[in-house]
């Protein structure tokens, strides 16, 4: 390899995978530094034709990760015709997958990037849920996809985290009779807010267990049945004022409640789309 030679790396997505492989191979020939020309997001034959011409003129190798069938076929055929070395870096493993799983690949570019975007969206949602847990930073209500409201121990936090792992930004607000709710609750769409309620006896048991876990006596006001009735009445009245959907979580798993919330959310999104289409 002389100083005038290049390695063209072509992809119908980004070139990160191909570049890593090319550098790994080059290192086996004491070529830790190689001249690389990236051509990312190739979408048509014209781009490939120009690259093959340039590669022939510079006596270069083409290394590629192209999954769109007609682009790959053209590149393989034209490179052979022009006497250019073109190496498909994905094909051997792709063929192994086809044999092993007896399935045809999708042939769609940028799927890894889509996965990465989904991952970062979920991370961002989890960070949002942590920041806006238990009434922290009420202004965040305006930016949430879902706002959960309810008295203490109605599964607001675990439900927020479960939904966040699915990519939804969730804020949750505890409802306490002595503390006025944030004004933002009355400014957002009522269908983005979800009220969580529970039967008094179920809540009493949960709170007593919580006090026991903390090493406190079960006769504290927190688990007092009269106080619990007062809190639940206040919460339900507030939810009716807001006009939000209400879910009784007494005998529901987190997953079941989350599915109900997402079904409500999708129904609302569908209504908005249909209304304005």
Alpha carbons 63 and 7: distance in angstroms, whole number: 7
Distance (Å) of CA 89 to CA 36, 63, 70: 15, 7, 17
| Binding annotation | 150-157
Tell me whether residue 141 is exposed, middle or buried, using C-beta atoms within 10 angstroms of its C-beta: 0 to 12, 13 to 18, 19 or more: buried
| Binding annotation for ADP | 150-157
Tell me if 203 sits within 8 A of 232, measured CB to CB.
yes
Tell me if 1 sits within 8 A of 31, measured CB to CB.
yes
Phi-psi region of 64 (alpha: psi -120 to 50; beta: other; left: phi over 0): beta
Q: Quickly list H helices, 86-242.
A: 91-101, 111-131, 156-164, 200-213, 225-242
């Amino acid at each position: 390899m002389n100083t005038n030679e290049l390695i063209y790396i072509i992809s119908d997505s980004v070139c990160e995978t191909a570049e890593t492989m090319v550098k790994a191979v080059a290192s086996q020939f004491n070529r830790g530094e190689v001249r690389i020309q990236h051509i990312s997001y190739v979408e048509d034959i014209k781009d490939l034709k120009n690259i093959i011409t340039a590669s022939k003129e510079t006596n270069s190798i083409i290394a590629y990760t192209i999954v769109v069938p007609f682009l790959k076929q053209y590149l393989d055929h034209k490179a052979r015709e022009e006497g250019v070395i073109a190496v498909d870096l994905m094909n051997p493993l792709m063929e192994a997958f086809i044999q092993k799983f007896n399935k045809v690949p999708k042939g769609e570019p940028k799927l890894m990037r889509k996965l990465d975007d989904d991952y970062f969206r979920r991370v961002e949602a989890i960070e949002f849920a942590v920041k806006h847990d238990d009434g922290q930073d009420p202004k965040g209500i305006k930016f949430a996809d879902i706002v959960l409201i309810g008295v203490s121990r109605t599964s607001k936090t675990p439900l927020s985290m479960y939904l966040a792992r699915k990519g939804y930004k969730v804020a949750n607000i505890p409802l306490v009779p002595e503390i006025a709710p944030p004004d933002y609750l009355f400014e957002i769409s009522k269908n983005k807010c979800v009220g969580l309620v529970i039967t008094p006896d179920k809540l009493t048991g949960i709170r007593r267990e919580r006090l026991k876990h903390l090493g406190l006596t079960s006769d504290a006001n927190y688990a007092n049945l009269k106080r619990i009735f007062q809190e639940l009445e206040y919460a339900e009245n507030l939810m009716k004022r807001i006009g939000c959907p209400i879910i009784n979580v007494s005998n529901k798993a987190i997953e079941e409640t989350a599915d109900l919330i997402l079904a409500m959310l999708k129904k609302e999104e569908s209504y908005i789309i249909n209304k304005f289409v």
